[in-house]
A and B are shown apart, each in its own frame.
Chain A
Amino acid sequence: MGVAEATTTPTFDAERVRGDFPILRQQVHGHPLVYLDNANTTQKPQAVIDAVSDYYASDNANIHRATHLLSERSTRAYERSRVLLQRFINARDSHEVILTRGCTDGINLVAQSWGRTHLKPGDEVLISWMEHHSNIVPWQLVCEQTGATLRAVPIDERGELRMDEFERLLTDRTRLVSIIHVSNALGTITPVAEIVGKAHAAGAVTLIDGAQAAAHVPVDVQAIDADFYAFSGHKMFGPTGTGVLYGKAALLDRMPPYQGGGDMIASVTFEKTTYNSLPYKFEAGTPNIAGVVGFGAAVDYLNGMDREAARAHEDRVLAYATELVAKVPGLRIIGQARAKTSVLSFVMDGIHPHDIGTVLDNEGVAIRTGQHCAQPVMDRYGIGSTARASLAFYNTTADVEALVRALHKARELLG
């Protein structure tokens, strides 16, 4: 794939979109910033920054609990974000959208609220080797608490889920299946609808970790039919400390609260407390209101663009990066799934990823190096860590070329 092809998308103008992200206009170590750490966190468009700032400048008040105008405006803005997010993932009802601190928070909510009340010795929770630590450790904790057993589906050399192994490990003991939608370490897109269908047929409840998916692939929770779907605001151009746990109302209704506090109750006496209805039962305490308002602004921003064209652009840049990076001497790409998005993990002979990261940073190129909170993936490939370049739609072929130039410098200096 050539440069020209990758930059002439008729309906998506990456250069214009870059103008929406003020942080990208800076120099780093004397070079223009090339931000390729989007799987870690994405940058924020001016519209999101303004929404957070305007909220504090004009509307700041606590929600759901005061009779004054500011509180009304604040509540309205907060609930507007919920509805935007409901539509973004095509949930049936906005009360199925629990606003959380992030994807990790949502998974822990399910592990503790659903897991602790449903799991018992002999039961199994099924995850995969590709999971982020946030979709491993919460299950280890609840398995310790309940006596249930955690099992993991292996992945093949390309970084694809072994569906034959999934079917073998999915038994009548499996109570819950929790699988990543897009691997943050490898970029693999997993067949979530198929996984959910098979899990349901086996009588298991399903959770999909969508942290790395939400900004890169369309998410339709009704089409996927997952019982729970968790994701984060900060990986889809919104503020940190925000996230969504989608859950089917029938399940959420029967689950006990995760945390106790204000806003999650209907009535409190020392004898008996009754809980608020969905979604508030799971939203104890004053939430990150400004963050949620900014999260809504991020959804507005995404709704304002041709997302399919943005995705096509991003896929072309990934294909271009894959082609160019593979030509760097002694470089090996980790994760070559057929269905893949936004992530390019690699190792270089004789150069440790941490050193690659330092050389690249010195050239203005920001990537992540390390285990990407996915140590089992590293163990699977027998490596300690990788260097990872990860894309958003504001990345261009010029960014890829800067990356490749910097990789050659790393080879020159450290090879």
Chain B
Amino acid sequence: MSDLRELYQEVILDHNRRPRNFRRLDCPDRTCEGFNPLCGDRLTLFLEMDGDRIREVTFEGTGCAISRASASLMTDALKGKTVDEVNALFDRFHQLLTSDPGAAPDTTGLGKLAVFAGVREHPSRIKCATLSWHTLRAAVAGGQTRVSTE
């Protein structure tokens, strides 16, 4: 099971068991619901903005270990970031997940999010890791209140 430990790193298991920022906000500026119809996973993101900057971000919902840990680590990583910084971070995160699993992962600037490098070996799980991010992008862009992976 050694290679599965690459996927299910301790940090991921910990964030799955005890997700951070796992609550709703009373007066969010924006909310968005993300849905993966293949798994039945759904999560709701709550955002408080300070102009162009994310002041607070939380989530609720059900999902697999990868999607819960990803949402948890994402919310930790985003507080205080501007929309442009968030978009740049997501691009780097997405590049990591879809990069060649044979090559060494480029985790520059990703901080704790680098623990998801193991997802590269499991293409069917990429959507689990990105569900919260797609939901976030829709939330910060405004307008859309529901996104789906399919």
Question: Complex formed: what's the CA distance from A385 to B1 in Å?
Answer: 25
Q: Give complex CA distance A204, B61 in Å.
A: 42
- List A contacts of B37 (CB < 8 A): 371, 375
Q: Quick one: given A352-B64, A354-B64, A358-B125, are A413 and B8 in contact (CB under 8 Å)?
A: yes
Verify if A325 is at the interface (C-beta below 8 Å from B): no
Q: From the candidates B3, B13, B16, B40, name the one contacting A385 in the complex (CB within 8 A).
A: B40
A385 to B38, CA, bound (A): 9
Residues A42-94 near B (CB distance < 8 A): none
Interface size on B, residues (CB 8 A): 24
* B4–A359 CB distance below 8 A: yes
For B1, list chain A residues within 8 Å (CB).
359, 362, 409, 413
A308: Cβ under 8 A from any B Cβ: no
Binary interface encoding of chain B residues 28-50 relative to chain A, with 1 for a CB under 8 A from any of its CBs, else 0: 00000000011111100000000
The one of B4, B39, B42 in contact with A354, judged by C-beta atoms closer than 8 angstroms, is: B39
Q: Are A358 and B4 within 8 A (Cβ)?
A: yes
Which of B5, B40, B65, B66 is the one whose CB lies under 8 Å from A384?
B40
A369 to B37 alpha-carbon distance, docked (Å): 12
How many residues on A have C-beta within 8 angstroms of the other chain's C-beta atoms? 20
A378 within 8 A of B: yes
A362 CA / B4 CA spacing, docked (Å): 8
Query: Which B residues touch A375, using CB under 8 A?
Result: 37, 40
Is there contact, CB below 8 Å, between B39 and A355? no
Is A370's beta carbon under 8 Å from chain B? yes
Complex alpha-carbon distance, A355 and B66, angstroms: 8
Compute how far the CA of A351 lies from the CA of B40 in the bound complex, rounded to whole angstroms: 14
- B128 sits at the interface (CB 8 A): yes
> Which A residues are CB-close (under 8 A) to B62?
352, 384
Contact with B along A380-415 (1 / 0, CB 8 A): 000111000000000000000000000001000110
- Pick 25 A–B contacts, CB within 8 A, sort by A: A351-B65, A352-B41, A353-B39, A353-B64, A354-B125, A354-B128, A355-B66, A358-B122, A358-B125, A359-B1, A362-B1, A362-B4, A370-B38, A371-B38, A371-B39, A371-B40, A375-B37, A378-B40, A384-B41, A384-B42, A384-B63, A409-B1, A413-B4, A414-B8, A414-B65
What are the 3 A-B residue pairs with the smallest beta carbon separation, nearest first? A384-B40, A352-B64, A354-B64
Residues of B that sit less than 8 Å from A by CB: 1, 3-5, 7-8, 13, 16-17, 37-42, 62-66, 68, 122, 125, 128
